[in-house]
Amino acid sequence: MNYHRPELVEHLSREYVLGTLQGPARRRFVTLMRDSRPIAAAVAQWEQRLAVMERAPVPIQPPVSTWQGIEQRLFPRTQATGQTRTGDTQGVLGTVLGWLTGRAAGGVLAGMLLAVVLVKTLPTTVGLEPASEALPASYVGVLSAAAAPPSVVVSSKRHGKLLTVKVLRPIAVPEGRRATLWAIPKDGAPFIVGTVSPSGQTQIALPAESEKLFFSVGRVAISLEAGEGPAPATPSAFVLEGACVKVW
């Protein structure tokens, strides 16, 4: 199987981030991701797309009037008897609410609201419109040590103000130091982007849109700077470095 076909990379990256890629196929894909910068970049993009799922609203218990309104629409009272079709004075939904605690009832409604959010924000995920294989316009950088597999992927939407840093291989940061991300323009001095966690994922708020900050940036790098005091004007030796490319 040719794992370098763009449409296959997109499909596998999406399934990996969603968690539907399982078993030997997932383990094989993890190995490919560690050794391939394009695959690592595609995974980072899908993680950024689906980050909205981590920002779901906190469940709130709905007022009783909400359930009564739903009940009236689903089980209207008959004109002849003035009773519900079931004959229960509380109505069907009232009975259901009697079984549920307030917290559980709130969770049910929160689940309904979350489903609406997902349909509106991620229609391709739930299969309600044709899926697009194209990546959003973004700046993407893949960093590694010399002659080593990719270690860090950074990405930000072209007109976004949030940069996501995904660490694929933990960064060895000595005590008293901090991993610092730098942007290196094609013409000009490097400038600091922010501090990076040595493992996992870091999100850095940008002072301006990526288009303005990274338009002339050709490379990104990480150095190990002193953990205290003001940020340095110039970087120390870079431990990780890679190209910054425009994806559009």
**For residue 201, what is the domain's CATH number?**
2.60.40
Q: Give yes or no: residues 164 and 200 share one domain.
A: yes
What element of type H or E holds 90? Answer: none
Q: Give yes or no: residues 198 and 170 share one domain.
A: yes
Residue 7 inside a domain? The answer is no
Instruction: Report the domain count for the chain.
Output: 2
Q: From 118, 157, 166, 119, select the one nearest 13 (Cα to Cα).
A: 166
Q: Give yes or no: residues 141 and 240 share one domain.
A: yes
Task: Please state the pTM of the whole predicted model.
Answer: 0.53
Q: Give yes or no: residues 143 and 227 share one domain.
A: yes
pLDDT score of 104: 52
Residue 144 inside a domain? The answer is yes
Query: Looking at residues 138-144, what average pLDDT do you find?
Result: 92
Q: Give yes or no: residues 157 and 207 share one domain.
A: yes
pLDDT score of 82: 47
Give the span between the Cα atoms of 19 and 17, in whole angstroms: 5
Planar angle of CA 212, 205, 184, nearest 5 degrees: 50
Calculate what percentage of the chain has a pLDDT beyond 70.
Answer: 68
Query: Looking at residues 136-165, what average pLDDT do you find?
Result: 91
Supply the mean pLDDT for the chain: 77
Q: Give yes or no: residues 141 and 210 share one domain.
A: yes
Residue 44 inside a domain? The answer is no
Residue 222 inside a domain? The answer is yes
For 117-130, how does the pLDDT look when each residue is reduced to its tens digit (9 = 90+)? 544 555 544 444 44
Q: Give yes or no: residues 236 and 147 share one domain.
A: yes
Whether pLDDT at 191 is above 70: yes
- Which residue range is the domain that position 186 belongs to? 136-247
DSSP state letters, 179-213? EEEEEEESSS--EEEEEE-SSSEEEEE-SS-HHHH
Residue 12 inside a domain? The answer is no
For 164-181, how does the pLDDT look when each residue is reduced to its tens digit (9 = 90+)? 999 999 999 999 999 999
For 46-102, how does the pLDDT look when each residue is reduced to its tens digit (9 = 90+)? 887 766 555 555 566 667 777 777 777 776 665 444 444 444 444 555 554 454 455
Q: Give yes or no: residues 197 and 240 share one domain.
A: yes
